[in-house]
Chain A
Amino acid sequence: MKAKILLVEDENSQRLLYKQVLSDDGYIVFDVETSHQAIDVVKEHQPDLAILDIRLSGEDGLDLMGQLMQIDKNMPVILHSAYSAWKDNFRGKMADAYIIKSSDLTELKKTVQQFLPRNAN
């Protein structure tokens, strides 16, 4: 059974990129744009991992992380941001991992593998 990943990213091209990369690695990716959609996915599909962008248009990824943790406190959350600024934020520290966005996707892929080793190729 393939592991399920929730991907929250408001920028279309990036969402497409991550979805493709993660799908290539053999995960089922639920990609959404908004917090609202993200909560629906968690409730409906109980994903094994969530990857959240922090700066969502009009919304806050950190807030979303809090809400998701209330629904499923066992689900690991990776914060994914262009900024390092939240890394040391106390809420940022609640995340299981903090990855700074880069065109080099090696780190993202490695981290996902750490949390979902069953899918390691």
Chain B
Amino acid sequence: MGQQKTVLLVDDEQIMHDLARAYLEREGFTLQSAYTGVSGLETIKDLRPDIVLLDYMLPRMDGEQVFSELRQNPAYEEVRDTPVILLTARGSDDSLKTRLLKQGIVAYLQKPFGLRELSDVINNIITLRDIRHSHRLLEIEVKSTKQHLSSIFHNAPVGIFSCNSHGELLQVNQYLLQILPELSYENQFINVLHNEFFKDSFFTTGVRYVLETGQSWKKELIPWASGQMKKLILNVHFVPIQVEKDDREDSKSVMGIIEDVTEWERKNFQLKLLSQVSSAMQQTMGLRKLLHLLLTAITAGPALSFTRAMIFMVDETESELKGAMGVGPMSSEDAMQIWNRLNRENLNMEQYLFNYGPTLPGENEKLNLHVLAIAIPLNAKTELTKVLQEKRSFRYKIDNQAGKNDAAFPACLNPLQLEDFIAMPVVANDRLLGVIIADNKFGNQPILEDRIHLLSLIASQAAHGIEKAHSYEQLHEEKQKLEQAYDELHRAQEKLVHAEKLAAIGEMAAHVAHEIRNPLVTIGGFASQLQKKTNFENNETNPAQIIADEVLRLEKILENVLNFTKLPDPEPSINNINKLIEDVVEQIKPVLENSEITIQTNLQSNCPDQYFDQGQLKQVLINLLQNSQQSFEKPGIIRITSFLENEIVLIRIEDNGPGIASDMLTDIFNPFYTTKKHGTGLGLAISQRIVHGHGGEIRVKTKLGQGTRFDILLPVNFGSGTQENKNSVVNAVIV
């Protein structure tokens, strides 16, 4: 007891005061004195003694009255509990003692009493009072601590609950009730183990695990859709606790902490999304895959909380803004289905973005089909083209009832059911690429400003990716063109090599021909002279004549060689192929008849007048007819047919001669190739080049022992235009 305790003695006898003071002050108390009941009450009120010694026998107002006044008069409310010891000299009156003790007197001392007894009683009472006091303080503290804890419990920024071994919730804090309002039904906590809504959820799984194993249960980033379609990401931690109770001493129960990390995860997701979209855009990929990745990034997961995204691309050749792709639901049933599927698959961002199969999902989904059907002329004055021209995003809210058939939103957009959406331009290096539309249709969350900002970041990343994909596709096209050009070049080179070979042969042939020609002239000339000067009998052949004839033949061969090497360009004029055939047949008929060969013609009158070099084609016909005639070893038939088909005049020369062996067939058009004793091997080569020179073709079909068929195909339009129509192959070969 630290400070001095004060004791008030209320007694009308001075001697009691003197005795008590002498003794109690020695014991460490301070004594205050009052001599009547009234002054005693006043003193209690004013000085607030720690204890009161009250004499029963007081004038006018006895001790019992004073005590009752102290206890009941509101004037003394503040000191009402002051402990009072009653002093009495009235012998041992047990009924009074009992009555007074019942009224709250703390002790009852009968005079005469020893002073030692008095101080013991006083000390006991003071101790008791101190204990009571500290008890009261403790109670107050407990109460306030309880309030404090309860306030912490309910205001904690995490969800906290506890439940007993039957799954009955004991405590659920306010925060948790906000996240999971389903934990309470009609102001009663539910039983989590027997509730339809939480059936098979993380909640029941966790509680059951903790109860069964006694171990704690922890799980992070659980996606959760509450009853209002609000998407949440939760971290949960359930632990076993022991609750001591009177009836069941070690009843198992569970406490859980549930944290809503949606916002945190959203930020995390946004960062990841940006970095992944950005790295994806660095890769080279096809445009369609890239667009799909972009739209998936906008709609997937909690980063942007858009449910639908569509992209429209600028088509520069058509001057249109064309729907390219759309991702997202077309109805709330769709939305539910998609969201459930994603929840079930529980994919992370990378999986969302990169793990779709060979066919892009959503390709045949309704929204995509609607988007693909949209085309808006770039010069139309619509809101979408405005977004593109002003290169900034707009937020639109359309009243669907009123806004229809509005020029700003053309009717082709109606199937998209746009209401509240963002339209964002896709621009790379000042090049307008397209417009992204994103909205939150069928989702319950508003479009927030920071999401729009993120969307614009992604759009700008995408723009560069799209630009790159464009260039990549162009590059691919260029590459294909180059490859094609290379192939053509390669073929041309092969032709040229072939032509050069021919040219070299031709040049050599020309040179040799000239060198041989000069001596031939002399030989033949002198032979003729000799023939004139030598007389032989009429029937005898002059040898000089034979020399002259043979020389003449040699000279003809040389002429052919020379003609081949410098075959001139055709000089086309208007002619008719049937007329030419008739002329040639007329000319060659006597020769054929000598060889007992019949010639038949079947010339269709539909062969039009056309441009060709009459001299050259005449040579071709004569060459082919001569070849045919010379191949016969016995009488035969040559048939000449002509007709027009698909702007091509076809001249067919077929015979029933011996035919050509198939292994020789590849060589017959080569110069200097011949099977004849006296052939130059140039007839067919020249013929082919003449026909090529007319832009045509010569084909051969033969069967050994049955005959040969040559087809000359001449395009009707040859030479009707400019010189360029002529086939350049011939020109390249001419020396």
Q: Which residues of A contact B (CB under 8 A)?
A: 11, 13-14, 17-18, 20-21, 24, 82-83, 101-105
Contacts of B335 in A (CB 8 A): none
Q: Decide if B603 is an interface residue (CB 8 Å cutoff).
A: no
Given A103-B527, A103-B551, A104-B552, CB of A17 within 8 Å of CB of B517: no
Contacts of B525 in A (CB 8 A): 14, 17-18, 21, 103, 105
Whether A105 pairs with B528 at a CB distance below 8 angstroms is yes
Q: Are B517 and A13 in contact (CB under 8 A)?
A: no
Say yes or no: A21 contacts B529, CB within 8 Å.
yes
Question: Are B529 and A101 in contact, with the CB atoms below 8 A?
Answer: no
Of residues 544 through 601 on chain B, the ones whose CB sits less than 8 Å from some CB of chain A are: 548, 551-552, 555
Q: Are B518 and A82 in contact (CB under 8 A)?
A: yes
Q: Does B16 contact A (CB under 8 A)?
A: no
A102 to B520 Cα, complex, angstroms: 8
A101, B514: Cβ atoms closer than 8 Å: no
**Across the interface, do B522 and A17 meet the contact criterion of CB distance under 8 Å?**
yes
Known contacts A82-B514, A83-B514: A103-B529 contact under CB 8 Å = no
Tell me, in angstroms, the Cα distance from A13 to B524 when the chains sit together: 12
Question: B493-535, CB under 8 A of A: which get 1 and which 0?
Answer: 0000000000000000000001001111111111111001000
- Give the docked Cα–Cα distance between A14 and B529 (Å): 12
Given A102-B555, A103-B552, A104-B552, are A82 and B526 neighbors across the interface (CB < 8 Å)? Answer: no
* Chain A residues within an 8 Å CB radius of B529: 17, 20-21, 24
CA distance A104 to B521 in the complex (A): 8
A13 CB to nearest chain B CB (Å): 4
Cα-based distance from A107 to B520 in the complex (angstroms): 16
- Beyond contacts A13-B519, A102-B521, A103-B548: 14 other A-B pairs, Cβ-Cβ < 8 A, are A11-B518, A11-B522, A14-B518, A14-B522, A24-B529, A102-B524, A102-B555, A103-B521, A103-B527, A103-B551, A103-B555, A104-B548, A104-B555, A105-B528
CA distance A14 to B520 in the complex (A): 10
Q: Give 1 or 0 for each of B585-625: 1 = CB within 8 Å of chain A CB.
A: 00000000000000000000000000000000000000000
B524 pairs with A82, CB closer than 8 A: no
Nearest CB in chain B to that of A12: its residue:
B522
List residues of B whose CB falls within 8 A of some A CB. 514, 517-529, 532, 548, 551-552, 555
* Closest beta carbon of chain A to B519's beta carbon, Å: 8
Residue of B nearest to A11 (CB): B518
Residue of A with least CB distance to B554:
A103
Known: A17-B529, A20-B529. A103 touches B520 (CB 8 A): yes
State whether B514 touches A14 (Cβ < 8 A).
no
List, sorted by A's number, 22 A–B pairs whose CB atoms are closer than 8 Å.
A11-B518, A13-B519, A14-B521, A14-B522, A17-B525, A17-B526, A17-B529, A21-B525, A24-B529, A82-B514, A82-B521, A101-B517, A101-B521, A102-B521, A103-B521, A103-B523, A103-B524, A103-B552, A103-B555, A104-B548, A104-B555, A105-B525
B526 neighbours in A (Cβ, 8 Å):
13, 17
Which A residues lie within 8 Å of B520 (CB)?
A: 103
Q: In the bound complex, how far is the Cα of B532 from the Cα of A20, in angstroms?
A: 12
Closest to B517 in A: A82
A83–B532 Cα distance when bound, in Å, is: 28
Contacts of B528 in A (CB 8 A): 103-105
Residue of chain A at shortest CB distance from B523: A103
> In the complex, what's the smallest C-beta–C-beta distance from B549 to chain A, in angstroms?
10
Residues of A within 8 A of B532 (CB): 24
Closest to A15 in B: B522
Tell me, in angstroms, the Cα distance from A13 to B522 when the chains sit together.
6
A13: chain B residues within 8 A (beta carbon):
519, 522, 526
CA distance A78 to B104 in the complex (A): 173
CA distance A10 to B520 in the complex (A): 16
Chain B residues whose CB sits within 8 angstroms of the CB of A83 once the complex forms: 514
Shortest B477–chain A CB gap in Å is 50
Cα–Cα, bound, A13→B519 (Å): 8
Residue on B nearest A105 in the bound complex, by CB = B525
Tell me which residues across on chain B come within 8 A of A17, comparing CB atoms: 521-522, 525-526, 529
B522, B524, B526 pick with most chain A CB within 10 angstroms: B522
- Most-contacted residue by chain B among A14, A102, A105 (CB, 10 A): A102
Inter-chain CA distance A91–B524, complex, in Å, is 29
> Chain B contacts of A103 at CB under 8 A?
520-525, 527-528, 548, 551-552, 555
Q: Once the chains are docked, how many angstroms separate the CA of A121 from the CA of B518?
A: 29
Alpha-carbon distance A20/B521, docked complex (angstroms): 14
Contacts of B524 in A (CB 8 A): 102-104
**How far apart are A76's CB and chain B's nearest CB, in angstroms?**
22
For B520, the closest partner residue in chain A by CB is A103
Task: Specify which chain B residues have a CB less than 8 angstroms from the CB of A14 in the assembled complex.
Answer: 518, 521-522, 525
A21 to B529, CA, bound (A): 7
B-side contacts of A104, CB under 8 Å? 524, 528, 548, 552, 555
Q: Is the CB of B551 within 8 A of A101?
A: no
A65 to B267, CA, bound (A): 103
Nearest chain B CB to A32's CB is how many angstroms away?
Answer: 18
Residues of B within 8 Å of A82, CB to CB, are 514, 517-518, 521
A94 to B525, CA, bound (A): 27
Residue of A nearest to B562 (CB): A84
Q: Which of A11, A18, A101 has the most CB of B within 10 A?
A: A101
Shortest Cβ distance from residue A100 to the other chain B in the assembled complex, whole angstroms:
9
A residues less than 8 Å from B551 (CB atoms)? 103
How many Å from the CB of B669 to the closest CB on chain A? Answer: 26
Contacting residues, chain B, for A105 (C-beta < 8 A)? 525, 528
| C-alpha spacing A21/B526, complex, angstroms | 9
Q: Shortest distance in angstroms between A88's beta carbon and chain B's nearest beta carbon?
A: 11
**Which residue of A is nearest B524, CB measured?**
A103
Distance, CA A34 to CA B182, complexed state (A): 128
Give Cα A20 to B527, complex, Å.
12
B523 contacts across to A, CB distance below 8 A: 103
Question: Once bound together, how far apart are the Cα atoms of A82 and B532, in whole Å?
Answer: 24
Question: A82: nearest residue on chain B (CB-CB)?
Answer: B517
Closest to A103 in B: B524
Q: Tell me the nearest residue of chain B to A18, going by C-beta.
A: B525
Measured between beta carbons, the chain A residues less than 8 angstroms from B517 are 82, 101
Q: How far is the CB of B599 from chain A (nearest CB, A)?
A: 31
Q: How far is the CA of A101 from the CA of B516 in the complex (A)?
A: 12
Chain B residue with the shortest CB-CB distance to A106: B528
Q: How far is the CA of A13 from the CA of B548 in the complex (A)?
A: 16
> What's the Cα separation between A13 and B525 when bound, in Å?
10
Measured in the bound complex, the distance between the Cα atoms of B526 and A84 in whole Å is: 23
> What residues of chain A lie closer than 8 Å to B519, measured between beta carbons?
13
Question: How far is it, in angstroms, between the C-alpha of A66 and the C-alpha of B527 when the chains are bound?
Answer: 34
Give A102 to B532 CA distance when docked, in angstroms: 17
Whose C-beta in chain B lies nearest to the C-beta of A13? B522
Residue ID in chain A nearest B551 by CB atoms: A103
Report the Cα distance A24→B526, complex, angstroms: 13
* B462 smallest CB distance to A (angstroms): 71
Bound together, the chains give a CA A82 to CA B525 distance in angstroms of 14
Closest 6 CB pairs of A and B: A103-B524, A17-B525, A13-B522, A103-B551, A101-B521, A82-B517
Alpha-carbon distance A24/B517, docked complex (angstroms): 24
Compute how far the CA of A117 lies from the CA of B529 in the bound complex, rounded to whole angstroms: 22
Once A17-B526, A17-B529 are accepted as A-B contacts, the answer to whether A101 and B552 lie under 8 Å apart by CB is: no
A83 and B511 alpha carbons, distance in the complex (Å): 11
| Distance of A1 Cα from B528 Cα, bound (Å) | 27
Which A residue sits closest to B558, measured CB to CB? A82
| Assembled-state Cα–Cα distance A108/B667 (Å) | 40
**A78 nearest CB across to chain B (Å):** 15
A25 nearest CB across to chain B (Å): 11
The smallest C-beta distance from A116 to any residue of chain B, in angstroms, reads: 20
Within the complex, what minimum Cβ distance (angstroms) separates B226 from chain A? 101
A31 to B525: give the CA distance in the assembly, Å: 17
Whole-angstrom distance between the alpha carbons of A48 and B521 in the complex? 25
* Shortest Cβ gap from A14 to chain B (Å): 5
